[in-house]
Chains A and B, each alone.
Chain A
Amino acid sequence: MLFSSLTFLFGFLPVLFLIYFICRNNFAKNIILLLFSLIFYAWGEPKYIFLMLFTVLIVYIFGILIDRCDKTKKYIRKKVFFIICIVLLIFSLVFFKYSNFIFQNINNIFGANIKTLKIVLPIGISFYTFQILSYIIDLYNKKIKVQNNFFNLALYVSFFPQLIAGPIVRYETIEEEISNRKESLENIVSGAKRFIIGLSKKIIIANQMAIFADLIYNNYSVSYGTSIIWLATIAYTFQIYFDFSGYSDMAIGLGKIFGFNFLENFDYPYISTSITEFWRRWHISLSSWFRDYVYIPLGGNRVNKTKWIRNIIIVWLLTGLWHGAAWNFIIWGLFYGFLLLFEKLFFKKVLDKLPKFICWLYTIFIILIGWLIFRVNSLEQLIIYLKEMFIFNKTDWIFILSNELTTFNSLIFIIPAIIFSTPIIKKINIKFGGKVWYTTIYNIMLLVLLLVCITCLTSSSYNPFIYFRF
């Protein structure tokens, strides 16, 4: 199921709220949440829900085994169990996500003829695998206590707000809250408001930007020249931010309503003045996951320079690969990896001396190129579009406009997109937050936004979701 659907808003949510808030004890509440989360997942993935549940069962069993080994001081056995579990989890992810990519490349390089498998990527597998990996790794390192209740572990993994598109919630974040949380009116209100904001970001801005970006990126036409490809890249830059951060907002808001406090996943990434800063503001839960579970175990920056560079390259190679089983994602990851090295080793000193605006221009330029690499459907398209972006080629605007007039309607949403990429609303909230007139106006605006979102959902069937390939 998608958050941005009428079924979720009018079917799933009201029924869930009614049942959940009638329950009094925590155990019943968790069962309700688990049940609804499973329905939510099965709605979009009726076949692979069993894969997810099976994965949880495996980790549950291994978790108990590892904990028992630790208590009985059988450390070698503990390590063996740990390694088996990790291998199983990673194998499952690689199998479903990367096997065809691997086979295609083997075929291309070695001229072999391995048949590609007929498997579909189960929704959210990249997210829940990483979440459950964080559980078993933290358990092994004794950062968290074992979860003896299978239903609670299943709830942690499959909890519907973050199952499909993150944020990647570490077990330690909600360990306490799973058994001991209190829903308060204050949290329900702020959660609901956060949800509406996320919903609006997705439906009003992201989907509209998608219409235009898809037009230019899905098919190449000779009438597309430099200016329209830049415009489409800008549209895609906004699309992915508002889509993904909108989804994170909805996840955090929904979590809050039920008494869970997830960590922030985005922090206005497009105001960054360096790539290093950008990656502290974008998809925070993923970059911190790689930092804590790959970079630091490899030694982080406490090793010699060569190894450090190797660590960074590995982390970024994996980051790119996590996003998709295709070469352009790997290039994208390495693109940022090398740029970060460049900044850390040398360019940071230059940036510190330049005015902030120049730094921002440099950063946003890199970000745009990055999203171009991310968005293209093939390496051929990457080369063509890069050429078009940097070697001037005239765009046949009249032809494109006359053929795709309605697509251009969406471009007007670039204006709110620019405004809301900056933390201006946050600042206004802090300044006027306590005032009664501000609360009234703000709440009215949110209600209007909710109605606009419902109107858009009712009227148009156009509702693509980027992170479904994860």
Chain B
Amino acid sequence: MNKYFDLLYKDSFIKFIKFVKNNLLKEKKTFIVTANPETFMFSEKDKDLENIILDKNVTIVPDGIGIVKAAKMINNPVKERITGIDIANELLDIANENKLSLYLFGSAKEVIKAMEEVINKKYPNIKLLGTSDGYVKDKDKVFEKIAKLSPDIVMVALGIPNQEKLIYKHYNKFKKGVFIGVGGSFDVISGYKKRAPKLFIKLNLEWLYRILKEPKRIKRFYNSNVKFLMNIQKKKLNNKINILFLIICCLILLFGLFNSIFNPKDINQYENRTAYKIPKFELKGFINKTLQDQIELSFSDQIPMAILMKKTYNYIQAFTSQQITNILLKNKCNNLYININDSISTFGCDKHLVYKQSTLKSDKESYKKRIENINKFIKNMNGKVYLYYIEKDTDINFVNNKKSNIYEYLEKNINSKNMYRFEINNFEEYKQYFYKTDHHWNYKGSYLAYKDLVNILTNEKPLNFENEKCINDYFSGSKASIGGVSSIYKEHFCAYEFEFPKLDIYINGKKENYGKEEYYFKKNNEYVSYALFYGDDYAEIIFDSNNSKKENILIIGESYDNAILKLLSTHFNKTYSIDLRHYEKYAGEKFNYFDYILEKDIDKVLLIGNKDYFLLEDFYLEV
């Protein structure tokens, strides 16, 4: 509706009359609409009326005080009220002065008659071409008649919007003329109705006089003025709210853009990798679309709160999956793998995360190559090599307990009589010895393996634990983070407490302690992980128990043996632990086992790991 206000005549009444007089004398067609709040309100719902209002050839003047007030409210003010009755009076004066012709259409028969008399008496020079009361049936015919007469001024008093629509309908039949819809003006001019006293008009209280004279008008007045102004207020407020909405949207987008370009993060902690950043433009990358993908990925890492959004999203996904499992699979989960996502599943009803079985067939070539490498090593070592294979969830299908037989295959093809394994034959065993949310063995599993290895490698008795303690109940390991379900899958982290004899430990050459068992047993409810508790992967760890009567052992393993290194080292003089994944970076060269073993006077070598250890090239031993 605001656009209607743009179309209002904004100058003074005097100027307007001058403009109309000018058009009259120049025979320029003019169509005047006197706008009341009703006019605009009708236009919003009445397309035909709206078309008239919006037409460039129509002049709209502010008749009602409501319009004047509303215009001011929306900061599009008009100079003053220009009423239909005042225009009509002026037109009559001008017509009389210049001997112009006039046609009157509308109102009751008696009023029209009275009008004729008034014109004859007061405006004798006007050529009254004809009149017609407002109650004729065929108003179009009347207008066709008027068109033939071609008067200078045509006043129509049929009420809004009928007078405007009628004029507009026949407008193009006329070559000249000033047309105006004057509503109830004939009543006043003819003397049938009195206009308000001058005082009322001057104080802009004409509306009050009309209500006092005709109390029924109050409803109409309320609807077209009070409600109208309230509507304008509402629209103003709505506008403000919408502008606020727009501003917030723009701020969100701009903020995201500027942050990504000018303040990028380097590391994505949540996903454990470097964060993607917006790259420089490169034509080649653009043509093969890698640049576009890179840019999209950088936005997903760099916009503010990206990590929070990812966490929330993953949490909701995990939560709804959990609900579906609880509801739909409640009684059927018992012997069932349920896929949490592409890499990880749960088995059973107990929120135990597992990896699905890997077959021998799928990696046979890689196993073959690894076996070759190990056999070469064994040949060079002349027999003092022990191998320990750790079976886990990837070695067995828990539904039918069928195994992948990877150990059997390795054992058959590796030229060593000293190959052993940590055996898992069913889900109960797996549950007992491995974490629910992490891929490592738990304290019971690692202790069992330790006892096994002491038996294999020495004649001694294994250390007994002093205590069994739980550190916290909210541990969530690697499997949970791969599944994005760390917030939902949690378990107890417990461990055995041992009384270790004195050990000198050197990690990558520096004398340090390995693992933080003592710290965790003292503190309560601290955040813990497998690596934090037992010790992390390092290129070279040396345990010295200062017992020269015992043998030296070299353990080439991965992260599983971290849990038992300290324990094993109590049975040897010097225990060397090498992690081939990190050695080259630390030492600047590949691990030369031959020289190392000679140098350190190693008596036994232990190769220990899970299926990946016996598969991946990272663990190849080279001279």
Contact = CB atoms under 8 A, between A and B. Distances in A.
B303 A46 contact: no
B238 A436 contact: yes
Size class of B's contact patch? 35 or more
Contact of B340 (A5, A406, A458): A406
A459 B314 contact: yes
Contacts of A454: 252, 256, 303, 309
Given A412-B320, A434-B231, A434-B235, A7 B245 contact: no
A401 B253 contact: no
Nearest to B287: A46
Contacts of A7: 292, 295-296, 299
B246 interface: yes
B309 A402 contact: no
Contacts of A397: 328
A447 interface: yes
Nearest to A440: B241
B340 A46 contact: no
A6 B241 contact: no
A193 B310 CA distance: 25
A443 B260 contact: no
B328 A401 contact: yes
A446 interface: yes
A192 B249 contact: yes
Nearest to B306: A458
A449 B75 CA distance: 34
B321 interface: yes
B250 A455 contact: no
A402 B246 contact: no
B313 interface: yes
A455 B314 CA distance: 10
Nearest to A447: B248
Nearest to A190: B242
A460 B253 contact: no
Interface stretch (A12-20, A106-114, A329-337): A12-20
Residue picked from A196, A403, A443, most chain B C-beta under 10 Å: A443
B321 A46 contact: no
B288 to A, nearest CB: 8
Contacts of A43: 292
Given A13-B253, A405-B321, A435-B234, A459 B339 contact: no
Nearest to A411: B324
A443 B245 contact: yes
A10 B286 CA distance: 19
Interface in B311-339: 312-314, 317, 320-321, 324-325, 328-329, 332, 336-339
B230 to A, nearest CB: 10
A457 B252 CA distance: 15
A9 B309 contact: no
A188 interface: yes
B296 A5 contact: yes
A283 to B, nearest CB: 28
Contacts of A456: 313
A185 interface: yes
B238 A11 contact: no
A7 B260 CA distance: 11
A1 B235 CA distance: 37
A450 B303 CA distance: 14
Contacts of A189: 242-243, 245-246
Interface string A198-237: 0000000000000000000000000000000000000000
B375 interface: no
Contacts of B2: 186
Interface in A19-47: 42-44, 46-47
Nearest to A460: B313
A405 B299 contact: no
B309 A401 contact: no
A186 B320 CA distance: 40
Contact of A6 (B254, B303, B328): B303
B410 interface: no
A379 B109 CA distance: 80
Interface in A404-459: 404-406, 408-409, 412, 434-436, 439-440, 443, 446-447, 450-451, 454-459
A398 interface: yes
Interface in B253-295: 253-254, 256-257, 260, 286-287, 289, 292, 295
B64 to A, nearest CB: 21
A14 B254 contact: yes
Contact of A408 (B241, B249, B292, B324): B324
B142 interface: no
Contacts of A450: 249, 252
Contact of A401 (B231, B237, B292, B329): B329
B309 A409 contact: no
Contacts of A409: 317, 320-321, 324
A5 B313 CA distance: 17
Contacts of B325: 405
B96 interface: no
A17 B250 contact: yes
B150 interface: no
A46 to B, nearest CB: 5
A445 to B, nearest CB: 11
B341 interface: yes
Contacts of B300: 6, 457-459
A436 B325 CA distance: 44
A439 B329 CA distance: 44
A435 B245 CA distance: 16
B246 A192 contact: yes
Given A46-B286, A402-B329, A457-B300, A434 B249 contact: no
Contact of A459 (B234, B287, B310): B310
Nearest to B254: A14
A46 B292 CA distance: 11
A422 B184 CA distance: 48
A8 to B, nearest CB: 9
A145 B295 CA distance: 42
A189 B234 CA distance: 16
Contact of B339 (A15, A403, A457): A403
Contacts of B337: 402
A193 B314 CA distance: 28
B260 A10 contact: yes
Interface string B12-24: 0000000000000
A454 B310 CA distance: 10
B253 A46 contact: no
A439 B243 CA distance: 12
Contact of B309 (A188, A403, A459): A459
A42 B291 CA distance: 12
A11 B313 contact: no
B278 to A, nearest CB: 9
Given A46-B287, A408-B324, A434-B235, A15 B257 contact: yes
A455 B313 contact: yes
A458 B295 contact: no
B243 to A, nearest CB: 7
Contacts of B253: 9-10, 13-14
Given A44-B289, A454-B252, 17 more contacts: A5-B296, A9-B256, A44-B292, A46-B287, A185-B239, A189-B245, A189-B246, A402-B337, A405-B321, A406-B321, A408-B324, A409-B317, A412-B320, A436-B234, A436-B241, A447-B248, A454-B256
Interface of B: 2, 231, 234-235, 237-239, 241-246, 248-250, 252-254, 256-257, 260, 286-287, 289, 292, 295-296, 299-300, 303, 306, 309-310, 312-314, 317, 320-321, 324-325, 328-329, 332, 336-341
28 contacts: A7-B299, A11-B257, A14-B253, A15-B257, A47-B287, A185-B243, A398-B336, A401-B324, A401-B328, A402-B329, A402-B337, A403-B339, A405-B338, A405-B339, A405-B340, A406-B317, A406-B321, A408-B328, A409-B324, A434-B238, A436-B237, A436-B241, A439-B242, A443-B242, A454-B256, A456-B313, A457-B300, A459-B300
5 pairs of A and B residues whose beta carbons are closest in the complex: A459-B313, A6-B299, A455-B309, A443-B245, A10-B256
